[in-house]
Amino acid sequence: MSDHPAEMLKDIHSHHQAAADRDQAEHRKALARHSEALARHSARVTALRQERDRARAERRWWTWARTSVVTWHTQQRRPRPPAVRQARPAAMPRDVADQEAILTAGITGEHIVAADLGAVLGDEWTLLHGYRNRRGEIDHVLLGPRGMFTIEVKYRNATVDVDGDQWRFCKYDHYGNLVEQGWITDRRGRFPSVQLNEPTAELERFLRSRNHPVRARRAVILTHPRSALGRCRNITVDLIATSTGRLTDLISESPAVFGTTQVLELQKLVVHDHQFNQRRMAR
């Protein structure tokens, strides 16, 4: 599958290649270290949750209370992602540098979700990154026995308010003063829920045409460690959350709907449709 933000980032740096290569290499190393730390953290949290749930089922209330507290504190110590590089070559135009920062942040956020899911889901699950069709791109398409999940990732250091398909952010300083606010949109002016719903609906339409009437569960994940949700009402996706843990909860609460053969068939169809659209857009 494609890595569209990374491709765009490469294009932006065409005139600053040497410096960018060094910076990106260091960033990739930092992401790899962060991925390992996230995997260890997720495994620890999963083990604690299982211990807590066993204690509750067996009515061992003292153990349940203790593990609940330990689980909560462990979750709060989630490894922070590497800082998005803000330095820019002197000759780089400001608008190009700003776009670079946005794309690098997007890559970081998508990496966090992929690492989190990889740490808790088994081999029966497949994560496809960067699926694209004529209505847009989906950061992650997750396929497994409990269904198909489409995921939009936003790495935003802000409090996010949602009303229907309108998304607004407010950023505060350490003293609680509002320092920045505005709409959250992509380059086409679409809010995150629209950005996810439009290509997801197109993917569902394609799968129906191939005799697979699948309804995808749709999730927008805010991955920045200081992301927060404000007022959310009339939301048009299945989940808006500030951690991948809420997504894994949604997955675990979903009934089993696909067998192994159907998961493999769906995977092949999604990849085929992505490749078809890539060729079409390249003409």
| Segment 96-141, tens digit of pLDDT | 444 444 444 445 667 888 888 888 888 899 998 889 999 999 999 9
**What is the pLDDT at residue 104?**
47
**What is the pLDDT at residue 2?**
41
Residue range 215-222: average pLDDT? Answer: 96
CA angle 169, 173, 179 (to 5 degrees): 55
Residue range 70-84: average pLDDT? Answer: 72
Contacts of 26 (CB under 8 A, 6+ apart): none
> Given the structure tokens 């990374």, which residue do they identify?
6
Supply φ then ψ for residue 28, to 5 degrees: -65, -40
The residue among 37 and 199 whose pLDDT is bigger is 199
**What is the pLDDT at residue 251?**
95
Residue 137's nearest CA partner among 152, 149, 148, 157 is 152
